[in-house]
Structure formats: structure tokens, C-alpha cells
Amino acid sequence: MTIRVRLTRADLQIALAQLTEEQQTVLLLRFEEGFTSAQIATMLGKTDMAIKALQRRALATMARLLTLPRADAARTGMS
């Protein structure tokens, strides 16, 4: 069963702001600019595996933040 949640751009920006600067950079280069993890690795002087790990952790953090109940979101500054 899939549950769909409607998120606004503001919701995404708030969650993105909770990430480290490095995680934000990786996600923006990957999803906004369309670079591959290998290209991002070259740009940032890291290995492809390191970029994939950063991306995975960043997406997991965003998923957790974006699925918090409203009461929890208010406590974490995500209201």
C-alpha cells in the first residue's frame, strides 16, 4: 500500500535546510542540476561511494523529517 503526501516547495526547502551543507550540495547537484554521482565526486574531490553514501543519508533524513507528525514537526522547527 502506498500513501501519497502532498508536499509544497516550502516543505522541501525547510527539510533541506536541516541537512548539512555538504548533503545539501550533493542533493542540489544531483536532482536540480542532473549530475551523476561520479560527476559530483569529481567536482567535490570525493569518491563515488562517498557521494552515494551522502546522498542516501540526506534522502533518509529528509524522508524522516517530511513524515513527522505535525506535533513532532513543530518541536523540531519544521512547522
**CATH number of the domain where residue 62 is located:** 1.10.10.10
> What confidence score (pLDDT) does residue 77 get?
56
| 76 pLDDT higher than 70 | no
**Within-domain flag for 4:** no
**Within-domain flag for 45:** yes
**Within-domain flag for 75:** no
What is the rounded distance in angstroms from the CA atom of residue 18 to the CA atom of residue 16? 5
**Within-domain flag for 37:** yes
Domain ranges, residue 57: 19-68
**Within-domain flag for 26:** yes
What is the rounded distance in angstroms from the CA atom of residue 74 to the CA atom of residue 56? 25
What is the rounded distance in angstroms from the CA atom of residue 55 to the CA atom of residue 3? 23
Alpha helices in the chain (DSSP H): 9-17, 21-27, 37-44, 48-66, 70-75
**Within-domain flag for 46:** yes
| 72 pLDDT higher than 60 | no
